[in-house]
Amino acid sequence: MPPLLTMRGIVKQFPGVRALDGVDLDVEAGEVHCLLGQNGAGKSTLIKVLAGAHRPDEGEVTWSGAPVVFATPQAADTAGIATIYQELDLVPGLSVAENVVLGHEPSRLGFTRPRDAEDVARALLRRLGHPEIPPRRELGRLSAAGQQVVSMARALARDARLIVMDEPSAVLDPEEVQNLFRVIRELTAEGVAVVYISHRLEEIREIGDRVTVLKDGRTVARNLPARETPTADVIRLMTGRSIEYAFPPRAAEPLGDEVLAVEGLGRTGEFAGVSFTVRAGEIIGLAGLVGSGRSEIIETVYGARKATAGSVRVRGKQLRAGSVPAAVRAGMGLCPEERKSQGLLMGEPVYRNVSLPALTRFARGGFLGRDSDLDAAGAVTAQLDVRPADATRPVRTLSGGNQQKVVLARWLLQGCRVLLLDEPTRGVDVGARSEIYALIRKLAADGVAIVLVSSEVPEVLGLADTVLVVREGRVVHTAPSAELDEGRVLDLVMESVSPMGTRDDGV
């Protein structure tokens, strides 16, 4: 039998960049084919060609043994190809059920049937292990993990023969990842092919069958056995060099004075009684499951959410609750979990995104000179190796990992003294991840007080000096990271865990 999908010599150019330069990919029916590569390697562009969002400039796509050209996403969808993007393409104003059947609404005699849509959504959510998500609930009220589940349900509703999953586990806790793998195994047992993209290399060995590696828009390895290929070999193919997973060493210098003090902080329905302090040069890590309240805590510290109890002080001065400008003036910065919707102006160039909090520094007589902030932003993005190395490029044209570097560059330029990091390496490849770890360590060594949130327990333990374990909106354990291990943290966060639901339900 020929492969279900064959892509040969795929080339795609954009102004100033050749995103794909002759990529080859083969996918068999019923297999999990893992597509790996650093940020900017061409993975997202390739799957957009497959999904009909981009037309290739050169090359051939064969589907079920016949050459095809998917001129539109609808054409790929009709052929049986469904895509779950890393940045979800859902509609927040619609209900869960409306999102699941969007474009394929059940109808009779030309009239849509909402109850049938709800039945479809309910059955798919049950299959995905989440019967607690109400089909009628407005999508925007769900947590990030809940929305990811809805996106998976939407793909399953298509009766697809091939499903592309781009970083599907990025916002899921360990139990949810295993549930995802169960569904993938059910799909492949039915003959459905899955193209799986992830920067978590341990997942590839567990769920993958074969691996294709991209680097700089080219295929550098095809059809490697996922379970037998050493991780070190995969990393070398992706980066062109060996990368150690060890975290940078902690600074030997003693910590400085207290910079951030959070006392009795709470927000009704989300979390309560949170207290901690951070000294200059210290890294505090918040560990907990998705929906435990971690992100809500640091967003409230930053003023993006208004606290209903407690206080936040920076260098002894209490900040006004619910005021982001007050936090920024006090020297605080936030790298949010959802970088596209919360952290970036996608239509603006890189330099303007970087210089945004510091515009008054570059203004003269109320007017902003273009070259001043462009030069400053260009220098800091070069320091972080943002690629492509063009600060005038719209930030939406960058890969996810390079967009994350832009958000970090913003606060590096601002010179903030308190940095709040929510999932700083989400969707970031192994090479860039090591660079971000080194940057976080350097900022701490320079005296910045850092609060870190991550779904990856090894990341929290490897970077933080002290770890706060958060469960169901409360800090249930605080200890130096040296006194904890991954098993102990997981035991703490998974005791008496409620089902995943909505933010306003406090989970």
Q: Where in the chain is the domain with CATH 3.40.50.300?
A: 5-239, 257-331+416-432+445-507
Nearest partner of 301 among 328, 338, 339, 279, judged by Cα: 328
Peptide bond into 388 cis (omega under 30): yes
In this prediction, residue 175 carries a pLDDT of 80
Residue 300 main-chain phi, psi, to 5 deg: -75, -40
pLDDT tens-digit profile, the chain (507 residues): 789 999 999 999 987 678 899 999 999 999 999 999 876 788 989 999 999 999 999 999 999 999 999 999 999 999 999 998 876 778 888 999 999 998 778 877 667 788 899 999 999 999 888 899 999 999 988 877 788 889 889 988 888 899 999 888 877 777 888 888 988 998 999 899 999 998 788 889 999 999 999 988 999 999 999 999 988 888 888 877 655 556 888 777 788 999 999 999 999 989 999 999 999 999 999 998 777 889 999 999 999 999 999 999 999 999 999 999 999 999 999 999 877 778 898 889 999 899 888 777 777 666 666 577 888 888 888 888 888 888 899 998 887 778 888 998 898 888 899 999 998 887 676 777 788 888 899 889 989 999 999 878 888 999 999 999 998 899 999 999 999 988 888 778 766 444 333 333 332
Residue 374 CB neighbour total at 10 angstroms: 19
Burial of 395 (0-12, 13-18, 19+ CB in 10 A): buried
Burial of 21 (0-12, 13-18, 19+ CB in 10 A): middle
Residue 413 CB neighbour total at 10 angstroms: 23
Residue 163 CB neighbour total at 10 angstroms: 24
* Dihedral sign from CA coordinates of 125, 140, 197, 488: negative
Residue 457 in tokens: 């327990």
In this prediction, residue 52 carries a pLDDT of 94
Burial of 493 (0-12, 13-18, 19+ CB in 10 A): buried
In this prediction, residue 71 carries a pLDDT of 92
Q: How far is Cα 35 from Cα 488, in angstroms, rounded to an integer? A: 33
Q: How far is Cα 315 from Cα 319, in angstroms, rounded to an integer? A: 10
In this prediction, residue 370 carries a pLDDT of 59
In this prediction, residue 504 carries a pLDDT of 36
Residue 424 main-chain phi, psi, to 5 deg: -65, -20
The Cα angle at residue 328 between residues 442 and 464, in degrees rounded to 5 = 35
Residue 473 in tokens: 């909106």
- Which segments of 302-407 are extended strands (E)? 309-314, 317-318, 332-335, 363-364, 367-368
Residue 10 in tokens: 């795929």
Report pTM.
0.66
In this prediction, residue 1 carries a pLDDT of 73
Peptide bond into 499 cis (omega under 30): no
Residue 138 DSSP SS3: strand
Residue 291 in tokens: 């929906």
The DSSP H or E segment spanning 478 is strand 474-480
* Largest Cα span, the chain: 74
Architecture of domain 257-331+416-432+445-507: 3-Layer(aba) Sandwich (3.40)
In this prediction, residue 500 carries a pLDDT of 38
- As separate numbers, helices (DSSP H) first and strands (DSSP E) second, the chain gives 17, 24
Please say whether the structural domain 5-239 has been given the CATH code 1.10.10.10.
no
